[in-house]
Homo-oligomer: A and B are copies of this chain.
Amino acid sequence: MRGHNMNAEKIPDIIIGRLPVYLRALQRMADNGLKTTSSQELGEHVGISAAQIRKDISQFGEFGKQGTGYSIAYLLDKLREILKVDRKWDVVLVGAGDMGHALANYQGFANRGFHIVMIFDNDKEKVGQKIDQFTVEDTEKMIERVKAAGVKIAMLTVPAAAAQSVTDKLMQAGVKAFLNYAPISLNMPNNVKVQYIDPATHLQRMTYYL
């Protein structure tokens, strides 16, 4: 456990950030029936140089063979193991608005390592509503419920004004990783992770080319 954590410190976060992108591209290749790939081919799919991909992957050991490239199935297994998505993570969703509904119904979690287990909202009109197989629960019971279930990952689709207080409660309940859809920056200690989903950033990445 300690060894794992020390290892985590040594690999730059920017490399960790690219691994899920490689994983997704490799999964698409596998779905299309491909068995092997090269750093060149993978690079064309993800828009990252072949040299960078070889360097990133070599951080974790020797996966490729000179001349024959990477076995896609082997690399998929290894990346899932490294990213710890070779298991299923429980996720709590807070905010049962449009975005919350969209995420509750999203089909892309189950086969990528994630499983929504609870949905909360502070709006009494929404509490008790059914979304997919879930019943929206009252945020008043959130700390207790999340702590008891040992959930470590949360997705926030609450209004910006509520995001920090919800985050504070979830951290109190033991949540260590947040995916934040609210258009606001969250304050949290260094041992808690946050990722932002921000459509404007993605659009700005494309306007350069228009």
- Which residues from chain A sit less than 8 Å from chain B, CB to CB? 8, 12-14, 16-17, 19-21, 23-24, 28, 47-49, 52, 82-85, 89, 91, 97-99, 101-103, 105-109, 112-114, 152-153, 155, 157, 160, 176-177, 179, 183, 185, 193, 195, 197-210
Partner of A83, one of B23, B112, B208: B208
- Least CB separation from A191: chain B residue: B209
A98 to B97, CA, bound (A): 8
Docked-complex contact B208 and A8, CB < 8 angstroms: yes
- Least CB separation from A28: chain B residue: B185
- Least CB separation from A11: chain B residue: B208
Docked-complex contact B14 and A48, CB < 8 angstroms: yes
Docked-complex contact A204 and B83, CB < 8 angstroms: yes
Docked-complex contact A199 and B201, CB < 8 angstroms: no
Extra inter-chain contacts (5) besides given A19-B205, A108-B183, A177-B209, CB under 8 Å: A20-B200, A24-B200, A108-B200, A109-B200, A112-B204
